[in-house]
Chain A
């Protein structure tokens, strides 16, 4: 029993937390009408940032637990800042959101490799030990509860508070909202900060909890998997959290079918096939409900031409 619990927390629960947090973050960003195509690059970057921060912090602070906690927060803050830049560029300039998204993706990939290697360099000089989050920590339970709380908060924020209503309104029709005197750039900046913090936290937990280390190319494609979870959950936080259960179960359990004679190539491709099928099936279901529909101006460029 204890062994099972150990396995459960190490693989399934950590996958669940990562995909849920990133999925919800993506929901907050895309609800404001900006197509979040930089997600994979920025996720990968945050996974590398967490490693480097954790090494730097562990050499500064003797309490390993505290160092990891601080680096989680630092990663979330850095990713939030990057996302706010992303949102502002997408809002104030008359450019294709796809173009900016893809550019951010590539820059994210490249920076991730460099940032992670800097962490490795510091490690080779100072030989510090990172206290990775593990089952023996109270941290595991704490993170789990915090995730559920965060999903709840995201839901309340998006659907019960004025800021959330504004975010969703901007996602529907930014021109109309700006005509009644709301600063669209500001609203999208805030949603970028919030969503970016979620994504950064997810990326940091990916490195510091799920994997427990860093290697070249770590986190590649996991951003897209979380993106699939987010779309399959209709960009609605509670549903994203629900879909994430099935997805991470499928993701963690499918490789185990190898012992039953499934070829390794099939189990490698399985998560990708699962996420495509999940996205397609789910998006054909929700044509009717207004609450769950796609934001109307998603992916359309918004800028106000000013008369001088």
Chain B
């Protein structure tokens, strides 16, 4: 009788094939090919136009910079949470809360009347306050599932996914109710924020804002420093890799989880606040209907691909922003060929899913060797 078994052993020597960049690129390519195969098998799509569109997306990079920055900030937020085994899939909700905090400060808080002058200092203070309150609200939104996880041991994932929808509803409630604008041409939305509260456009690169670029760099560097050079960072890493060791060395696991949740939520809220001040300028109604760009969800992929290595956040963000615009492009260029409804949405979900599966599986080979053994 032939006996087939899977033998998995811990790996002690590493070769070039198991290095992170190789696995990253390999799983992306495999994910791309696999999702193509799924689409081909179901609707029949010729490979030439599929891969030509992909190539065109990669070549036209200027349009990607805006989403690249936001995905970098949000990806860092989610990544530090992943380090500490806190599966922050609620970044979307925290991002919306950040928007709410920012618009509250610049339009409805007492601060906004006090600082309405056009001088640079008061405008800067107002913007800073708006961004900080946005971050604080995001942190608060992330603390709820964090505390629930710590005290009741319920997985934070379902709580966060449900809370994303609560955040959408909260935003819609405020937009249609207390914060409804007066000058909206009949649309349900808030008024535009005043010119002085908006972020500064970089001359020559109209899709970028100075503050967002600075924030992305600051966030990336400070999270890198926290993780590699502080005790908190060490504790977070321990929590993700060996929680038992963390406990037995006398640290409270729960405090670390709560601080990871706070940091992660704060950064996600920050991104939301900047989005509102720099790009959207107002809150639309029905915000859950794609009006956030689903950055909070897409950034999960960024964090995932750079798993436990902050240096790979930017490369992953480049790849992911290219891919999400690829999703839209393929829909545009193949209009008519596809049955209605095989949308960019379906494509990007399949792509995210297959890449994640392939990546999760191949990542094993980094630490373990997997062999198929056939015995007679």
Contacts and interface: CB of A to CB of B under 8 A. Distances in A.
A102 B356 CA distance: 8
B21 interface: no
A46 B43 CA distance: 19
Nearest to A279: B154
Given A99-B356, A308-B373, A269 B87 contact: no
A308 B38 CA distance: 37
B53 interface: no
26 contacts: A37-B155, A92-B8, A94-B364, A98-B85, A99-B304, A106-B352, A106-B356, A110-B346, A114-B38, A114-B350, A116-B341, A117-B340, A120-B339, A120-B341, A221-B161, A221-B162, A221-B165, A228-B162, A231-B154, A263-B176, A268-B169, A269-B165, A273-B166, A306-B9, A307-B9, A308-B371
A266 B353 contact: no
A275 interface: yes
Nearest to A282: B152
Contacts of A272: 162-163, 165-166, 169
B6 A224 contact: no
B108 interface: no
B356 A94 contact: no
Contact of B162 (A107, A108, A276): A276
A152 interface: no
A92 B8 CA distance: 9
Nearest to A269: B169
A237 B10 CA distance: 39
A213 to B, nearest CB: 14
Nearest to A92: B6
B157 interface: yes
B170 interface: yes
B7 interface: yes
Nearest to B352: A106
Dominant secondary structure at the B interface:
helix
Nearest to B156: A98
A308 B360 CA distance: 24
Given A266-B173, A269-B166, 14 more contacts: A40-B161, A92-B8, A95-B361, A95-B363, A98-B85, A99-B356, A102-B87, A102-B356, A107-B357, A110-B349, A117-B346, A118-B42, A221-B162, A299-B155
B172 A265 contact: yes
B111 to A, nearest CB: 26
B47 interface: no
A103 B357 contact: yes
Nearest to B151: A284
B316 interface: no
Contact of A93 (B151, B165, B345, B364): B364
Contacts of B353: 41, 103-110
A102 B7 contact: no
Interface in B141-178: 148, 151-155, 157-159, 161-163, 165-166, 169-170, 172-173, 176-177
Nearest to A37: B157
Interface in B40-57: 42-43
Interface in B102-142: none
A279 B177 CA distance: 30
A280 interface: yes
B152 A283 contact: yes
Contact of A276 (B42, B163, B176, B352): B163
A263 to B, nearest CB: 6
A94 B368 CA distance: 8
A308 B7 contact: yes
A307 B9 CA distance: 7
A269 B170 contact: yes
A227 B158 contact: yes
B341 A266 contact: no
Contacts of A308: 7, 9, 371, 373
A98 B347 contact: no
A144 interface: no
Contacts of B368: 94
Nearest to A111: B350
B226 interface: no
Contacts of B173: 263, 265-266
Contacts of A306: 5, 7-9
Contacts of A115: 42
Contact of A35 (B155, B162, B169, B348): B155
B354 A305 contact: no
B342 interface: yes
Contacts of B256: none
B361 A113 contact: no
